[in-house]
């Protein structure tokens, strides 16, 4: 990667050459990548192509002072999480950047964060666009899935068990710390790392192929995203409040804060999935072998809607269900 030095007279092609053409990942299925009007790609035979796109806008999806390495990393991680929810294996990515100015220092660190994650999954950057304007980042990822093995939001059946990977609520609590400028909180660095550097559960998603009846990634909050599965599958669910997996750091906060972050804050990028009970031993063993924590948190029910119960069996009222992009 070239040494950063600001030069606002650099054109689009110079920026692309300096920061995005020297990637380490080289794939045989990319006939032509960066530098042509179109990327020319060769999908493997007997596979289906999974595609997801997300846009992150400054002041909406991240604070303007968020480190550019973390912006680059998270912009890609959010999209990889969508591939994970489909059970797809990552292959290619495009990147469109709208920049207020040609800030070489910012681009240097942004591309470092972006490529540090891309290289973990042998993901090749195959093209994109740069333009001037308020900072926003659009990433589109492509992945492969064997035919008829893609995970989706439909398919949950009455009696299926509901699981989540990892822990919930840390990223949401980080947002509350940032909004209140509580930089001296004893776990401040930990919570920020969970917000800025989520873990895409790619291998977990692949392990869930032909096992999970439905799957979604948790971006807008568990309650909201699970409700998408319920609506698509035309079923209901009962969640057990005391089963929600919390990190040791979040468990130290007040129970009210912890459970509301876990249920509705979003930005976790963990997987929520449903399993027929007969598949549970095999799946939990496979995820354990991947060092991916997994927790049983509820059951799919015939009665429509989402019910949340406390340990004592009483209903829990959730005031805010999750993130609303236009709320």
Q: Can you give the pLDDT at residue 9?
A: 56
Of the residues 114, 145, 176, the one at which a domain ends: 145
The verdict on residue 316 lying in a domain is no
Residue written as tokens 């406390």? 310
**124 shares its domain with 64:** yes
The verdict on residue 270 lying in a domain is yes
Range of the domain at 193: 161-309
Instruction: Report residue 13's pLDDT band, with 50, 70 and 90 as the boundaries.
Output: low
**175 shares its domain with 233:** yes
The CATH number of whichever domain residue 130 belongs to comes to: 3.30.1330.10
Instruction: Report residue 10's pLDDT band, with 50, 70 and 90 as the boundaries.
Output: low
Decide if pLDDT at 15 tops 80. no
Of the residues 90, 121, 145, the one at which a domain ends: 145
The verdict on residue 210 lying in a domain is yes
Q: Average pLDDT, whole number, for the chain?
A: 91
**192 shares its domain with 141:** no
Q: Can you give the pLDDT at residue 160?
A: 98
The verdict on residue 155 lying in a domain is no
Instruction: Report residue 320's pLDDT band, with 50, 70 and 90 as the boundaries.
Output: low
Please work out, in degrees rounded to the nearest 5, the angle formed at the alpha carbon of residue 217 by the alpha carbons of 317 and 247: 65
- CB 165 within 8 Å of CB 297: no
**198 shares its domain with 268:** yes
pTM of the model: 0.91
Output b/e per residue, 283-312; b: 16+ Cβ within 10 A: bbebbeeeebebbbbbbbbeeeebebbeee
Of the residues 89, 113, 145, the one at which a domain ends: 145
pLDDT tens per residue across span 269-299: 999 999 999 999 999 999 999 999 999 999 9
CA–CA distance, 96 with 254 (Å, rounded to integer): 41
**233 shares its domain with 296:** yes
Cβ-proximal residues to 61 (8 Å cutoff; 6+ apart), any chain: none
The CATH number of whichever domain residue 295 belongs to comes to: 3.90.650.10
Instruction: Report residue 12's pLDDT band, with 50, 70 and 90 as the boundaries.
Output: low
**114 shares its domain with 227:** no
The verdict on residue 280 lying in a domain is yes
**20 shares its domain with 138:** yes
**32 shares its domain with 165:** no
**130 shares its domain with 255:** no
**138 shares its domain with 221:** no
Domains held by the chain: number: 2
**226 shares its domain with 268:** yes
The verdict on residue 152 lying in a domain is no
pLDDT tens per residue across span 81-135: 999 999 999 999 999 999 998 888 899 999 999 999 999 999 999 999 888 999 9
The verdict on residue 319 lying in a domain is no
Q: Can you give the pLDDT at residue 1?
A: 38
**30 shares its domain with 86:** yes
The verdict on residue 150 lying in a domain is no
């Amino acid at each position: 990667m070239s040494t950063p030095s600001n030069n606002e007279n650099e054109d689009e092609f110079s920026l692309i050459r300096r920061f995005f053409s020297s990637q380490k990942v080289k794939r045989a299925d990319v006939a032509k990548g960066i530098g042509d009007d179109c990327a020319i790609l060769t999908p493997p035979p007997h596979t289906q192509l999974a595609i997801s796109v997300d846009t992150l806008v400054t002041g909406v999806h991240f604070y303007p002072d968020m480190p550019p390495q973390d912006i680059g990393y998270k912009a890609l991680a959010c999209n990889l999480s969508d591939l994970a929810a489909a059970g797809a294996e990552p292959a290619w990515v495009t990147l469109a950047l709208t920049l207020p100015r040609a800030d070489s220092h910012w681009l240097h660190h942004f591309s470092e964060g972006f490529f540090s994650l891309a290289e973990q999954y042998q993901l090749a950057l195959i093209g994109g666009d740069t333009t001037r304007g308020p900072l926003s980042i659009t990433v589109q990822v492509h992945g492969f899935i064997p035919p008829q093995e893609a995970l989706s939001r439909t398919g949950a059946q009455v009696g299926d068990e509901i699981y989540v990977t990892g822990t919930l609520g840390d990223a949401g609590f980080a947002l509350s710390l940032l909004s209140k400028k509580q930089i001296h909180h004893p776990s401040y660095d930990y919570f920020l790392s969970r917000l800025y550097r989520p873990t895409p559960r790619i291998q977990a998603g692949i392990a869930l192929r032909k096992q999970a009846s439905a799957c979604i990634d948790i971006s807008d909050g568990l309650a909201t995203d699970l409700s998408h599965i319920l609506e698509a599958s035309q079923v209901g669910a009962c969640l057990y409040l005391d089963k929600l997996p919390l990190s040791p750091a979040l468990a130290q906060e007040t129970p009210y804060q912890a459970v509301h972050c876990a249920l509705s804050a979003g930005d976790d990028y963990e997987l929520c999935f449903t399993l027929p009970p007969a598949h549970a031993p095999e799946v939990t063993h496979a995820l354990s072998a991947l060092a991916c924590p997994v927790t049983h948190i509820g059951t799919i029910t015939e009665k429509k809607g989402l019910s949340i119960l406390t340990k004592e069996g009483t209903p829990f009222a959730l005031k805010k269900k999750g993130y609303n992009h236009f709320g």
